[in-house]
Amino acid sequence: MTDLPVKRLADWDHDRLLETAAAYGTPTYVIDLDRVRANYRRIDAAFPDARVMYAAKANTGRAVLRAVLAAGGTIEGAARGELLRAIQAGADPDTLQYTAVNPPAPDLDFAVELAADHPGFTVTAGARDTFDRLAERGYTGRVAIRVNPGIGTGHHEKVATGKDAKFGIPAAAVPTVAEDVRARFDLVGIHAHVGSGVLADQLAEHCRALARVAELARTVGELEFVDIGGGFGVPYHEDDPPLDLDRVADEIRSAVDPLEAELVLEPGRYVVADAACILSRVNTIKPTPAATVVGIDASLATLVRPAMFDAYHPIRNVSAPDRAPSPVSVGGPCCTSADVFCTDRPIARPERGDVLAIGNAGAYGYDLASQFHSQPRPAEIAFDGETTAIARRRETLADVTRLESRQ
C-alpha cells in the first residue's frame, strides 16, 4: 500500500487493526511507518533539485521522526521541544532549522546554546524584535527572514498563515530589514509558509504567493536558500482526489524561477496525515428523534481537529465493514456539544463493542491531544512492516495527576 498516492481507511488491514485494538485497548493511535517513509520519498522524488525538510509540528513522535531521518530527510522545528525531540531521534543538530514565532525566552536561549556547538544550525525569524533578542544573546550565526507575502491559502482561515500578521515580516519591509539583519548575522535564507492543506483548487493562488516570495528573494540577493514552507494537502474526504505531485512541482518551479538559491520545502501534513488512524470502541447506541447517536471512547481530547477546524475525518466500522450503512452521529464522552466526529453520516451500522477507525489522523492528531476531562492520553502503536510495537504507552490516571502538588 506504500505506493498508493493516498492511503484510504479501506486500504488498512482490518484484521490487523482489530488485533491491535484487542491487544492494546482503545482509544489508540496506529501509525504506519512504511507509509511515512513512502510519503516523504514521494515528495522528495517530485522535487529532485530541492531540499525537503519535515515540519515536525505535524507529528513529533519519535518513531515518526526516526522514519523521516531513515528516508533521508532533515527536520524543521517551531519550538525548542521539537528541536530536542529531533535530536533525541538522531537528527544532526547542524541540519536543523528553527522557525521562531513569537518565541519565548527559553526557546531562544536553547537555540543560541545549540548553535554555539553546531554552526550549521539555522534560526528563522519573522519579526525585527526577534532578531534584536537574538543579538542581545550574542548570536551572530545563520538566520533566515520569514516574510509575509500578504496572500494566504489552506483548508481553513486558521491555517492561512501567508496573510496573517502574526507570521513574517511584511513584504514591503523585507529589503530594509534584510540590510540590518545582514549587518549583524549570517543571512542565508528567505522563508515563507503560505498556508496548510492546499489542494488542486488552491494551487494557482498558492503559486501566486510563492512568486512574490521568490521576487523578494531576488531583491535581497546572495542567499543560500529560499524556503517556501509546506502546505501540501491530503484528501480527507473519501472521494477527494490526491494531489498530482508532478503537476504541483511543475507549477511551483514555474512560479519561483529563476531562483539563484536552493529551493527548500517543509512538508508536514503530507508526510504523516494518511499514515495514521485512531481505533475507538463503541460503548453506547442511543436512538433519538433527531439522530442515532453512537458513543465511542475517543473524544475531542483524542482528536481535536473536528472541534477546532470543523475538520472532516473518514470513519469506518472495521468490525463489520460490510454491514448495511446507517446514518449516525458519532461522539465521545466529553461534556460538550463540540465532542462530535460526524453528524448523520452513513456508516456500516455500528453496534456496541464494534471498533471504529478514524482516518487521516497522523497530522495534528496526537500532538494536539489533551487531558481534557482528566482523560489519559491514548497509546500509539507503530506498524513497521510486519512488526507491531508500542511507540507511546497509554497514560494512566497517575500520569494525569503526576505534576500536581500534593498539598
Task: Kindly list the catalytic residues.
Answer: 335
CA distance 343 to 292: 9
- From the list 294, 219, 301, 208, the residue with the least C-alpha distance to 255 is 208
Beta bridge partners of 230: none
Beta bridge partners of 227: 191, 264
Give yes or no for a cis peptide into 378 (omega within 30° of 0).
no
Cα distances (angstroms) measured from residue 259 to each of 44, 146, 205, 223? 19, 17, 19, 10
CA distance 164 to 377: 32
- From the list 172, 232, 229, the residue with the least C-alpha distance to 200 is 232
Cβ count near 15 (within 10 Å): 9
Instruction: List all residues 6 or more positions away from 402 whose beta carbon is below 8 Å from its beta carbon.
Output: none
CA distance 352 to 49: 52
Output phi, psi for 31, to 5 deg: -120, 130
CA distance 161 to 360: 22
